[in-house]
């Protein structure tokens, strides 16, 4: 596929316009320094946008455009801790031949354990997921750890890049984002300090996971170098990892602890599994680790 006429900017524009119809977005000056970056070889442009709004702690996007060869989107919305809303997550990596896609309303609480949370948010959304599962089928084996952060309607897929597939993906993005906004509209502020604390910690655990182990990091490092990549990941993409909580990666994920006390550099200790979609159409978890 010729990527010169293709851009994920359209996805970001839609999401921000749609959000502005419902709430007021305020820019975040602390992120100004990340607005426009270039790769070391000057072939790739990285752009970011970020805002906060009532109920939204952070909505931010990173797009990477590389001379016909690559298009990347990392778009996420993180709610204020007073809300147990899911985290909107769109991570799309596309080169001339292949696209690697994750689109989800990531649950704040692992839905294989917290079935009340699953019922609260995903029961009504199952028909939406079902609409796309055939055209955007399960992408095959995935690192086991990722699954804890996915919902029963996650779209995890890989395809040969084509205009048709990207049109379907755009439609899915629009539907999923509207679904998230509808949840936001309905969300009622949590008043119990204990529940707010729980939400904050759950979001911090999510940020800690992604800031340490997100599969996009090696490519970011290659593009802009280790130091800037680290700043981008900790100070922008997963902003809040240093402020929402004091626990460390190893507090949350002790299975990564090496004998020397450091973090195992492997992305996954569980390895890859889940060859098939591990949820049925009723949102019941039907996977196991050997899956």
Q: Decide: is 146 part of the binding site for ligand BLA (CB under 6 A).
A: yes
**250 lines the binding site for ligand BLA (CB under 6 A):** no
- Nearest Cα residue to 34 out of 54, 70, 61: 61
Element (DSSP H or E) covering residue 44: strand 44-53
Is the Cβ of residue 64 or residue 105 nearer to ligand BLA in the bound state? 64
**What is the C-alpha separation between 211 and 205, in angstroms, rounded?**
10
In the bound state, the residue with its beta carbon closest to ligand BLA is 216
- Among 34, 78, 83, 149, interactor with ligand BLA by CB under 6 A: 149
Q: Which of 1, 142, 211, 228 binds ligand BLA (CB under 6 A)?
A: 142
The torsion angles phi and psi of 262, rounded to 5 degrees, stand at -90, 175
Closest CA to 232 of 242, 241, 220, 244: 220
> In this chain, which of 9, 112, 143, 171 binds ligand BLA, going by CB under 6 A?
143
Q: How many CB atoms lie within 10 A of CB 281?
A: 12
- Alpha-carbon distance of 72 to 51, in angstroms, equals 20
C-alpha 291/C-alpha 278 separation (Å) is: 8
Identify which of residues 146 and 208 has a Cβ nearer to ligand BLA in the complex: 146
Position 154 contacts ligand BLA (CB under 6 A)? no
Span near ligand BLA by CB under 6 A; candidates 87-95, 183-191, 257-265, 278-286: 87-95
Q: Is 208 in the site for ligand BLA (CB under 6 A)?
A: no
Is 219 one of the binding residues for ligand BLA (CB under 6 A)?
yes
Give just the sign of the alpha carbon dihedral 191, 16, 186, 136. Answer: negative
Binding residues (CB under 6 A) for ligand BLA: these are: 64, 72, 74, 89, 91, 93, 100, 102, 106, 142-143, 146, 149, 156, 210, 215-216, 219-220, 272
């Amino acid at each position: 596929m010729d990527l010169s006429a293709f851009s994920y900017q359209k996805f970001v524009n839609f999401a921000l316009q749609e959000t502005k119809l419902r709430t007021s977005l305020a820019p975040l000056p602390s992120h100004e320094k990340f607005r426009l970056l270039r790769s070391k070889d000057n072939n790739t442009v990285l752009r970011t946008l970020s805002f906060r709004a009532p109920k939204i702690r952070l909505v931010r996007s990173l797009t990477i455009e590389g001379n016909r060869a690559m298009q990347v989107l990392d778009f996420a919305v993180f709610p204020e801790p007073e809300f147990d809303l899911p985290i909107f997550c769109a991570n799309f990596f596309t080169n001339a031949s292949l696209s690697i896609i994750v689109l989800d309303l990531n649950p704040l609480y692992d839905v294989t354990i917290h079935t009340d949370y699953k019922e609260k948010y995903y029961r009504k959304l199952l028909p939406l997921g079902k609409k796309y599962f055939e055209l955007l089928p399960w992408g095959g084996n995935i690192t086991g750890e990722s699954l804890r952060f996915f919902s029963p309607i996650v779209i995890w897929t890989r395809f040969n890049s084509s205009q048709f597939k990207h049109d379907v993906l755009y439609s899915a993005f629009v539907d999923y984002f509207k679904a998230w906004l509808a949840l936001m509209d309905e969300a009622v502020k949590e008043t119990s300090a204990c529940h707010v604390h729980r939400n904050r910690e759950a979001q911090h655990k999510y940020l800690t996971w992604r800031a340490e182990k997100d599969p996009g990091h090696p490519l970011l490092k290659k593009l802009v170098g280790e130091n800037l990549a680290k700043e981008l990941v900790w100070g922008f993409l997963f902003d809040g990892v240093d402020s929402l909580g004091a626990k460390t990666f190893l507090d949350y994920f002790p299975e990564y602890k090496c004998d020397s006390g450091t973090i195992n550099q492997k992305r996954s200790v569980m390895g890859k599994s889940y060859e098939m979609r591990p949820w049925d159409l009723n949102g019941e978890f039907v996977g196991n680790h050997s899956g």
